[in-house]
């Protein structure tokens, strides 16, 4: 079945993908992949990662993760951002109509600066590269996590300004859809995020996965007393993987004397294992065949480039470059 609307999204190769990424964005990408464009945003990653070996490794990891989770290159166009250099040219055209004030209001820039990330011009203009990523493929729908909403608003703003400035409908205005609206807590109960070092990587398994799950922070309610599922990180994660029935059962368990957090953690561990067991197998096979992964990315890049050239040409025409 083909998707009449073009879905597009990007994921930064800035570290191992974790359950927060999975429920916030990746799962939706896999569900909506017909006619979609998904790419690995390695130009964006350069704003925070400056190590060639790591960047290449993370890029490969993202590719393998998506393919293992069920991204089908026959249904979706899956590629590396940098295999479409047209996107950087369009970024320049967009920069010339983007107000400084718009970029100065960007929350993610301020947050990153506060975390100690170098305040480069690249970091500051990051949202314009992102707008270019979206507009250059005539995307209709952009599935993202809630931290990206402001960037989507900026994209619409920039597209509209460009269209108004040159008095032509060069760009389609995209809309966003959000992933799981409930937050995914990390090991310490804060939002799961690489920057808080509290993540559970998607492809963790065996002992390492077990020790992560066992380290999820819980309160000190004694074993004999009933526990409050709605204030529990283990339960919050459990709900993401469980069926309605399993959730109801677990709620019951929390009310029982003698059911402890250790039991709940074990149940959670089992659900995580079951949920990703097929993907683990596919991943192992993919890891043995890096050339296959590379071929998929190259072919995706070639298709994406064809689409990008047409939109870039519209933009060049509109502003008198070509």
Catalytic residues: 112, 191, 194
Closest approach of ligand TRP to the CB of residue 78, in Å: 14
Closest approach of ligand TRP to the CB of residue 135, in Å: 10
- Closer residue to ligand TRP in complex, CB, 15/229: 15
- Closer residue to ligand TRP in complex, CB, 130/237: 130
Closest approach of ligand TRP to the CB of residue 278, in Å: 25
Cα-to-chain-centroid distance, residue 293: 19
Closest approach of ligand TRP to the CB of residue 187, in Å: 21
Residue nearest to ligand TRP (CB): 10
- Closer residue to ligand TRP in complex, CB, 69/232: 69
d(CA 68, CA 279): 5
Interacting positions 97-136 with ligand TRP (CB under 6 A): 130, 133-134
- Closer residue to ligand TRP in complex, CB, 9/28: 9
Binding mask 154-173 for ligand TRP (x = CB under 6 A): --------------------
Closest approach of ligand TRP to the CB of residue 288, in Å: 29
- Closer residue to ligand TRP in complex, CB, 142/272: 142
If DSSP states are collapsed to H, E and C, what string results for the chain?
CCCCCCEEEEECCCCCCEHHHHHHHHHHHHHCCCCCEEEECHHHHCCCCCCHHHHHHHHHHHHHHHHHHCCCCCCCEEEEHHHCCHHHHHHHHHHCCCCHHHHHCCHHHHHHHHCCCCCCHHHHHHHHHHHHHHHCCCCCEEEECHHHHHHHHHHHHHHHHHHHHHCCCCCCCCEEEECCCCCCECCCCCECCHHHCCCCECCCCHHHHHHHHHCCCCCCCCCCCCCCHHHCHHHHHHHHHCCHHHHHHHHHHHHCCCCCHHHHHHHHHHHHHHHHHHHHHHHHHHHCCHHHHHHHHHHHHHHHHHHHHHHHHHHHHHHCCC
Interacting positions 129-148 with ligand TRP (CB under 6 A): 130, 133-134, 142, 144, 148
d(CA 291, CA 63): 12
Site size toward ligand TRP (CB under 6 A) is: 11
Interacting positions 1-60 with ligand TRP (CB under 6 A): 9-10, 12, 41, 44
d(CA 34, CA 2): 5
- Closer residue to ligand TRP in complex, CB, 12/253: 12
Closest approach of ligand TRP to the CB of residue 126, in Å: 7
Interacting positions 213-232 with ligand TRP (CB under 6 A): none
242 binds ligand TRP (CB under 6 A): no
70 torsion bin: left (phi>0), alpha (psi -120 to 50), beta (else): left
Interface ranges with ligand TRP (CB under 6 A): 9-10, 12, 41, 44, 130, 133-134, 142, 144, 148
């Amino acid at each position: 079945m083909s998707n009449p609307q073009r879905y597009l999204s990007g994921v930064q190769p800035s570290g191992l993908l974790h359950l927060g990424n999975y429920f916030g964005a990746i799962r939706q990408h896999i569900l909506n992949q017909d006619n979609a464009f998904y790419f690995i945003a390695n130009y964006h990653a350069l704003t925070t990662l400056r190590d060639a070996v790591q960047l290449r490794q993370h890029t490969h990891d993202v590719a393998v993760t998506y393919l293992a989770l069920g991204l089908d290159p026959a249904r979706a166009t899956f590629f590396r951002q940098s295999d479409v250099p047209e996107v950087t040219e369009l970024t320049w055209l967009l920069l010339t109509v983007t107000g400084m004030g718009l970029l100065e209001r960007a929350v993610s820039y301020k947050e990153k600066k506060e975390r100690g990330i170098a305040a480069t011009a690249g970091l500051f203009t990051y949202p314009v590269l992102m707008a270019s990523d979206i507009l250059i493929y005539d995307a209709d729908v952009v599935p993202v996590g809630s931290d990206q909403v402001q960037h989507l608003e900026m994209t619409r703003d920039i597209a509209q300004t460009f269209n108004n400035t040159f008095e032509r409908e060069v760009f389609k205005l995209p809309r966003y859809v959000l992933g799981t609206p409930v937050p995914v807590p990390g090991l310490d109960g804060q939002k799961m995020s690489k920057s808080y070092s509290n993540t559970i990587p998607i492809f963790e398994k065996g002992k390492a996965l077990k020790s992560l799950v066992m380290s999820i922070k819980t309160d000190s309610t004694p074993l004999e007393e009933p526990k409050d599922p709605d204030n529990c990180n283990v339960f919050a994660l459990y709900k993401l993987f469980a069926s309605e029935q399993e959730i109801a059962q677990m709620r019951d368990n929390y009310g029982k004397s003698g059911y402890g957090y250790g039991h709940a953690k074990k149940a959670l561990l089992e659900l995580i294992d079951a949920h990703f067991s097929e993907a683990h197998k596919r991943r192992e096979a993919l890891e043995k065949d890096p050339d296959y992964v590379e071929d998929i990315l190259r072919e995706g890049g070639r298709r994406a480039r064809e689409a990008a050239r047409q939109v870039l040409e519209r933009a060049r025409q509109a502003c008198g470059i070509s």
